[in-house]
Copies of this chain bind each other. A is one copy, B any other.
Amino acid sequence: MSSDALGESGTVAGAAEESLKQYMASHRPAVEAALAEACADQPGMPTRLAEAIRYAVLAPGKRLRPVLTIMAAEACGGSVASAMPAAVSVELIHAYSLIHDDLPAMDDDDLRRGRPTTHIEFDEATAILAGDALQSMAFAHLHCHAVDDTQAAAWIGTLAIAAGPSGLVGGQADDLDAEKHTVDDFGGPEAARTHLEAIHHRKTGALFTACAAMGAISAGADQRAVSALTNYARAFGLAFQITDDLLDCTSTDEQLGKRTGKDDGRGKLTYPGLMGLDRARAHAEAMIRTAHESLELFGTAGQRLRNLADFVLERTN
C-alpha cells in the first residue's frame, strides 16, 4: 500500500476509505456522462419533460447504485464498460422512485439533495410523467446497450422484478401504510421490526440486490457468484437503510440536503425508534459483517465491495 493511499486518519481503515473515495471519484465522470447520454433529447421528447428528467437524474448524488453495479462486475472479472448499461439503468429507476416518493400524495418532500424536489421545481404532472418516462427509459436502455439478447433478457428480467410490486413499489406501498399504524398494531416492537425489515428488503434492498446481480450478469458470472453478490447486497441494503434512519435522527437539514427528523414527526417505523440508537447501530454493524462474509468466494477481488460496505457504516460516525 503506498503512503498516498493513506487517509487523513493515517490508519488502515482511513486508507481503505480514501481508496474507496478515489475509486468513486475516478468512475464518476464515466457514470455521469453515460447518464447524461441516456437522458439526452430524443425526437418527440417534450422539452420540459426532458428538462425535468435531467434535473432529477443529473442532480448531485453519490451514485451508490451504479458504483455497486460496477464493483459487482469487477469482482466477477468484468470491465467497467460492460457494466455501464446496467449501472445507468438502475440509477434511472432510482431517480424515478425518488421523484414519485417525494410527491405530495406520497412522502410530500420539498427538498432532495439540497435542491427543490422535481414537483416543486417543475410541477406535479411533469414530475409524475418524468418518473413514468424514466422507468421505460431504464428498460429501453438495457435493450439498446446489451451485447446480445441473452444479456438483455437477463438484465431486464432482474430489474423488472426488483422494481415491481414485490420489490421497490411494494416496499414503498407498505412503508406508507405503516404510517397509519402504531407499533402495537404490528404486535409490539419485535414484530414491528420484522415488518420494517420486510419493507426495507423491498423498498431499498430489491434495487441494491438487482445492482449486484446485474453487475454479475455483465461479467457473465455463474449462479454461485450471482447468489453470493445477492446475499452481500441484501445485507448491504439493510445496513444502508438503518444508517439512513440513524442519520435522520442525528443530522441537520443542511448536512443531509433533505428534511430531517420527519420520520419521527409522522410516526414512521424506524430502527432507532424501535431499538434505540445503540442497538440500531449494532444491527447495522452485524449486517455489514454478513455482507463481508458473503464475499468470501471472491478473495481479494471482493475488497472494494468490502470497503463500500464499511463506508455505509462510517456515514454515521
Contact = CB atoms under 8 A, between A and B. Distances in A.
Contacts of A167: 44, 136
Given A140-B160, A157-B144, A105 B133 contact: no
How extensive is the interface on chain A, given as a class? Answer: 35 or more
Interface of A: 42-46, 48-50, 53, 96, 100, 103, 105-106, 123-126, 128-129, 131-133, 135-137, 139-140, 143-144, 146, 149-150, 152-154, 156-157, 160-161, 163-170, 172-174, 176-177, 198, 202
Contacts of A169: 49, 129, 132-133, 136
A173 B46 contact: yes
B144 A128 contact: no
In the complex, the count of this chain's copies comes to 2
Nearest to A132: B169
Contacts of A105: 123-125, 128
B45 A166 contact: yes
A123 to B, nearest CB: 8
A46 B170 CA distance: 6
A131 B133 contact: no
Given A128-B105, A156-B152, A44 B146 contact: no
Contacts of A176: 125
Residue from the set A128, A163, A173 with the largest chain B CB neighbour count within 10 Å = A173
23 contacts: A43-B166, A44-B202, A46-B170, A46-B173, A46-B177, A48-B177, A50-B165, A105-B125, A125-B173, A133-B169, A135-B136, A136-B161, A136-B169, A137-B164, A137-B165, A139-B156, A139-B160, A140-B160, A143-B153, A152-B153, A152-B157, A153-B153, A156-B156
Given A48-B173, A135-B135, 16 more contacts: A42-B165, A45-B166, A46-B170, A46-B177, A50-B165, A53-B165, A96-B132, A105-B124, A105-B125, A105-B128, A106-B125, A136-B167, A139-B139, A143-B153, A152-B153, A152-B157
Given A146-B153, A152-B149, A100 B132 contact: yes
Contacts of A45: 165-166, 170
B150 A165 contact: no
A45 B163 CA distance: 12
Contact of A170 (B44, B106, B163, B202): B44
Contacts of A163: 136
A219 to B, nearest CB: 18
A117 to B, nearest CB: 14
